[in-house]
Amino acid sequence: MRWTPKLLLLDADGTPHYESYGFLPPAEFQAMLRIARAGWLMDGRRMADARQDLEDLVVATPQSALLPEALYWLGVARSRTKDREGAVLIRAQLKERFPGNIWTLRLPS
């Protein structure tokens, strides 16, 4: 093996919608796949579906190491479905619970 695995989520045309590097335990791998699916849904302009998937993921995996990423994308999905108030709540939750996390740092100022 030359390096750790790289996973790409591609659509039928070969367009990438998500990528991840390295090994994950099974539960985290499943969470990552759900985030990847939500990204694919958002790229396809299916914001309401992506939002529901991410809300379900956040509720189902509150201790996941991928929770900050899921929350970040949930905030994006809420914003794009015109739920500005919900997006602001997610942003506040990220800042409070995960202040130094890379997904919190990606929030616009």
Residues 39-94: tens digit of each pLDDT: 999 998 999 999 999 999 999 999 999 999 999 999 999 999 999 999 999 999 99
DSSP-H helix ranges across 44-101: 47-60, 67-80, 84-97
Predicted local confidence at residue 69, as pLDDT? 97
Structure tokens at 59: 């509720």
Between CA 53 and CA 41 the distance in angstroms is 9
Domains of the chain, first to last: 25-105 (1.25.40.10)
Instruction: Decide if 18 contacts 9 (C-beta within 8 A).
Output: yes
Please state the rounded mean pLDDT for residues 21-31: 93
Q: Please, which residues bridge with residue 107 across strands?
A: none
Instruction: Decide if 7 contacts 22 (C-beta within 8 A).
Output: no
What band does 1 get if pLDDT is binned at 50, 70 and 90? low
Reported pTM? 0.90
